[in-house]
Amino acid sequence: MKLTTLSVLLAIAAAHASKINPLHIKRQATSSTATSATVAASSASSSSSTSAASSSTTGTSTGTATGSTTAVAVPASATWGTSFPPLSQISSGMPSEVTQPVTTTYSPGTSPTYFSGADPLPTAFVFNVADWPAQDKLPDTSSSEVQEWMKELDGWDIPDLSPTVDGTCVSDPTNVANASARGWWTCGGYTRDTDITVCPGKPMTWGTSFDDGPAFYTTKLLHFLNEQNIKATFFDVGSRCIENPAVLIDEYMSGHEIAVHTWSHPHLTTLTTAQIVAELGWTRKAIKTILGVTPTTMRPPYGDIDDRVRAISLAMGMVPIIWTRTPAGVSFDTFDWEIPGGVVTSEASFTQFEAILGNASTLDDGFIVLEHDLYEQTVDMAIGYTLPAALSHNPPFTLEPIGQCNGIPYTNMYVESNLNTSFPIANGTSDGGIDTDGDGTGDAKSKNGTSSATSSSNGAPPRHVSYSIFAAITLATLAAVVGAL
C-alpha cells in the first residue's frame, strides 16, 4: 500500500504508547455514562491535537444545539436531519438527551426485503433471567450449552497457547516477545489471511461499522443512517442484545449487517478456550433467538486476537473482522470510546479521524475504522462529524458495510441463508449444522439444503488462506492447503 506521512496519527499513537493497546471504557449494563475510574488504565494525552482540531475546522454545524456555535468540518450547505451538538459540547459531562424510538417496529413473521432467502423474524423475544448468563460477566463454562458448543471444536487444531496476562502489551513482555509466532494483533498488529482488515481492491471505500450495541442511542444513529441511505456492520454484544432486542431487530431489518462481538466484551486472549466458546456461543444464541439468523462474522473486543482465538472463532463458523492498521503500526481507531470518560476530547478524536481520511485516500484498498454506538457521545461524533466528513470529502468516500465491501453477499453473512458451504469454513456437529442454542442438535443450515457447517476431518483452520480463496475453494482443496502448511 502507498501511504503518505502519518504525522498526526503517529502523534496520537505516541500518546497511547504506554499502553499500546488502548483499553475501552468498561461497558455498563444500565448506564451510558462512564466514570473516571473506568478509564484509569489509559494514559493518553491529546492536548496538542485538541488545539489543532479547534483551529482547523471550517463550516457551520447544522445540528440542533444551544450555547456554543463551534464550527465543524462539514460544508455549510450540508443538511443532516438528525440533530447533534457542536463539537466542543461532546464531552464526558454533556447533558443527556431523550433517547429516540426505533425507526420501525417489526412484527414476528416479517421478513427482510433487501436479500432473498431471508427467514422471517421469530416469535417476539421475552427475557427470562433463568435462560441467560448474568449480563456483562463471563458466562459459566460448566453449563450444558457451553459443553455442547465445545464439541464444535472437535477435529480442529486449536493452538496450545497460554492466555495472555491482561490483553495488553505492557503487562505481558513474555507473550509480546512471541507475538509474531502466536499472531497476536494487539502487540504488533499481526494478522492471518483469514482475518478481514480492509476492503480489498476498493480504494476510497470505508467499510463502516459500529461496536458494542445495541444501546440506548443506537436508535439515533439508525435514524441518521436511514436518512442518508448508509448501511453499516453492527458488532453486537450479547448482553446488550437481550437488553435491547427491538433495537437489534431495527438494525437487521433496516439492512445493516449483524456480527458477533462477545457476551461481556473481554480481552479474548486472556480467557481459557471454554470461556472464549462461551462468550461467542451465548452472543450467537442471543442474536439467533431474537433475529432468527446466525452471524458468520465476529470482531474481537479491543481487536485482541491471536491464533487460538482465530481457530476457535473459525471452528464456530465466524470469520474475524478487525479494523485497518498501517504497516507503521497505526490503527484506524477514532478513539471515540475515550470521549465519554474524559480521556480524549471530541476535537482530538475528530482530528484523528481527519488524519485517517487523509491517509485513507492514498491507500490501494478500502479501509475499516473503529467506531462505537454504545454512548451518546460516540453516536453524536458519528452523525455530526465523522460520517458527514467522509460524505463531503472531495472526492467523497463510498460507505459500505464490511461484508459488502469484501464482496460477501448478504446471504453469506448468516448461516441460515448462506449459499456457500465453504464460507466461513466448514465444520459443525455430526448431524450437519451449527448447534446455535446449545441443545446438542445442529439447527442452523444453509439454504441449499446442505449444512454450511459440515464436519471436517483435517480440522485445522487455514492460517494463510485469503477470503477470495474462501469464496471458491472446495473442502478437498482446503484440506490439501492446510495439510501443506
Measured CA to CA, the distance from residue 298 to residue 288 in angstroms comes to: 14
Catalytic: 193?
Answer: no
**At 41, which amino acid appears?**
A
Residues 415-449 pLDDT 10s = 999 888 777 765 443 345 667 777 777 666 544 43
In the predicted structure, residue 72 carries a pLDDT above the cut 60: no
Measured CA to CA, the distance from residue 49 to residue 62 in angstroms comes to: 24
User: Which of these, 483, 467, 464, 5, lies nearest to 190 by C-alpha position?
Assistant: 464
- The string of DSSP letters for 23-48 reads PPPPP-SS-S---GGGGTT-----HH
Cell of 159: 493452538
Q: Across the strands, what pairs with 370? A: 333
Residues 362-388 pLDDT 10s = 889 999 999 999 999 999 999 999 999
In contact, 299 and 322? CB cutoff 8 Å: yes
Residues 165-193 pLDDT 10s = 999 999 999 999 999 999 999 999 999 99
Global pTM reads: 0.78
Task: For residue 424, give the 3-state DSSP assignment.
Answer: coil
In the predicted structure, residue 285 carries a pLDDT above the cut 90: yes
User: β-strands 233-236, 398-401: how paired?
Assistant: unpaired
Tell me which of 172, 265, 372, 380 is the catalytic residue: 372
Residues 13-57 pLDDT 10s = 333 333 333 333 344 333 333 333 222 233 333 333 333 333 333
Catalytic: 211?
Answer: yes
* H/E stretch holding 234: strand 233-236
- Per-residue pLDDT, 4: 32
In contact, 155 and 426? CB cutoff 8 Å: no
- Per-residue pLDDT, 81: 53
Name the more confident of 80 and 91: 91
Residues 313-358 pLDDT 10s = 999 999 999 999 877 777 899 999 999 999 999 999 999 999 999 8
- Per-residue pLDDT, 464: 29
Mean pLDDT of the chain: 78
Indicate the pLDDT class of residue 483, thresholds 50, 70 and 90. Answer: very low
Indicate the pLDDT class of residue 116, thresholds 50, 70 and 90. Answer: confident
Least confident range from 102-106, 146-150, 166-170, 447-451: namely 447-451
- Per-residue pLDDT, 433: 61
Indicate the pLDDT class of residue 295, thresholds 50, 70 and 90. Answer: very high
| 26 Cβ contact partners less than 8 Å away, ≥ 6 residues apart | 34, 38
In the predicted structure, residue 112 carries a pLDDT above the cut 60: yes
In the predicted structure, residue 10 carries a pLDDT above the cut 80: no
Q: Across the strands, what pairs with 259? A: 235
User: What's the mean pLDDT in 193-211?
Assistant: 97
Q: What are phi and psi of 367, to 5 degrees?
A: -135, 160
Name the more confident of 447 and 134: 134
Tell me which of 211, 212, 307, 443 is the catalytic residue: 211
* H/E stretch holding 470: helix 467-470
Task: For residue 320, give the 3-state DSSP assignment.
Answer: strand
- Per-residue pLDDT, 329: 73
Name the more confident of 399 and 434: 399
Cell of 120: 422471517
- Per-residue pLDDT, 100: 93
Task: For residue 441, give the 3-state DSSP assignment.
Answer: coil
Helix axes 7-15, 346-360, angle to 10 degrees: 140
- Per-residue pLDDT, 82: 67
Name the more confident of 484 and 185: 185
Q: What are phi and psi of 421, to 5 degrees?
A: -75, -5
